[in-house]
Structure 1
Amino acid sequence: MRLACLLWLLFVAVYDFRQRRVPNWLVLAGAAVALAALALGMQPFGIDAFTALTGAAVGFGCLLLIYAIGFMGAGDVKFAGALGLWVGLPALLPIWVGASLLAGLHSALWLVLQRWPVFPRLALMLQGRSSAVIDIDGGASLKRKRIVPYAAYLAMATAVWMIWGRQS
């Protein structure tokens, strides 16, 4: 089951880095496998159903607030909920800290490269291709680019947690 989780994390990371979005089918697949592992007693990290469901609720709920103010995409929020099913509540804090540090480095590097375009290809890679349209004041639309692939950084931080963070 750990391999299934790692493969799911890899797919999410690659998809988010390339498209700056996480499709619903990918989130649902990960959540379904996590729920099946719980139901069959094959949960790879030794957590119980209450811990997993609490992790899903907190992961989804906390990032939903960030989404509501416009700083995050909906796919990131849904992925955090599904991720909570896999790792449970206790693991979410170190994973969020690691992912946020990576996302902060991504943003800082992108801002530096916007100001001083020494490596324009790197700046374009960090920026990504997609953007979302936000409706402001009931009519005027403003393009807001999704620069940071936060779900990808959550996936990377989770993989690190799986390998080094869990010394059992």
Structure 2
Amino acid sequence: MTIDIAPGHWQVGGLSLLALCLALAALSDARQRRIPNALVLVALLAGLLWNAFGPQPFSQNPGLFSPYPGALGVGSGLLGALVALLLFLPFHVLRVLGAGDVKLFAAVGAFAGPAASVNLALCVLVAGGLLALARMAVARNARLVMQNTLASLGQLLPGSAGSFDARTQTAWRMPYAVAIAGGVAGYAAWTLSGRAPLIAFG
């Protein structure tokens, strides 16, 4: 079943809906340092439904972030959520990101699909790095941040007994929903201006 809507209007509506979800998540994360599970669930379901009932694609590379938009279907939406979850899950295991950040990016994957989720992950990580650098410049605590980063990565080494927790021992806990929103906005601007995806599939 599809909704009789022009692909361009479907794309604008989907991007607007995703932007609203990300703006609410970023606002909550900035104010309360948490992303409500209810908001994540709404965003996830919205992404799946948007891909389930949208217009049929007219190109080989459809999707919300494509110059030739078209619904991916609920199956690809679920796969996109899974890919996004798996891409960010290691950062949660390392205690670099909170569970809410990982779940929020999975909801983004439900809108984007699997291929775009990989590209979005790169953009979000770049946005997060830029925000962290900006914060270090303002707070002048680059040395402490680097020490914490090395301590976090050191936990990957065999036999490491480290117990560094970025959520409680960091110099400044960045609301990562802001980075997710910034990365998504940057990737949308990149692809919708006619540029090719950072990593092309198929």
TM-score (norm 1): 0.72
Q: Which residue of 1 aligns with 2:145?
A: none
Output one character per residue of 1:76-124: Cα deviation in whole Å (capped at 9) or x when no partner. 11011111000111212332222212211222233333437xxxxxxxx
Distance 1:42 1:16 in 2: 34
Q: Which residue of 1 aligns with 2:38?
A: 25
Report the structure, 1 or 2, having the larger strand content: 1
Q: Which residue of 1 aligns with 2:88?
A: 63
Gaps of at least 5 residues in structure 2 are 1-12, 57-62, 65-69, 142-160, 195-202
Q: Which amino acid aligns with 1:61?
A: L
Specify the SS of the correspondent of 1:22. Answer: coil
Distance 1:41 1:103 in 2: 31
Q: Which runs of 4+ in 1 moved over 4 A?
A: none
Distance 2:106 2:82 in 1: 6
Instruction: Name the stretch that deviates more: 30-39 or 60-69.
Output: 30-39
Output one character per residue of 1:57-94: Cα deviation in whole Å (capped at 9) or x when no partner. 01112211210111110001101111100011121233
Gaps of at least 5 residues in structure 1 are 117-135
Does the Cα contact within 8 Å between 2:53 and 2:73 map onto a contact in 1?
no
Does the Cα contact within 8 Å between 2:80 and 2:114 map onto a contact in 1?
yes
Q: Which residue of 2 aligns with 1:97?
A: 122
Structure of greater Rg? 2
List aligned pairs for 1:116-131, cutoff 5 A.
Answer: none
Distance 2:178 2:92 in 1: 16
Q: Which amino acid aligns with 2:179?
A: Y
CA RMSD of aligned residues (A): 2.8
Output one character per residue of 1:39-60: Cα deviation in whole Å (capped at 9) or x when no partner. 3236972223333222110111
Instruction: Name the stretch that deviates more: 54-63 or 35-44.
Output: 35-44
Q: Which amino acid aligns with 1:105?
A: L
TM-score (norm 2): 0.61
Identity of aligned residues (%): 29
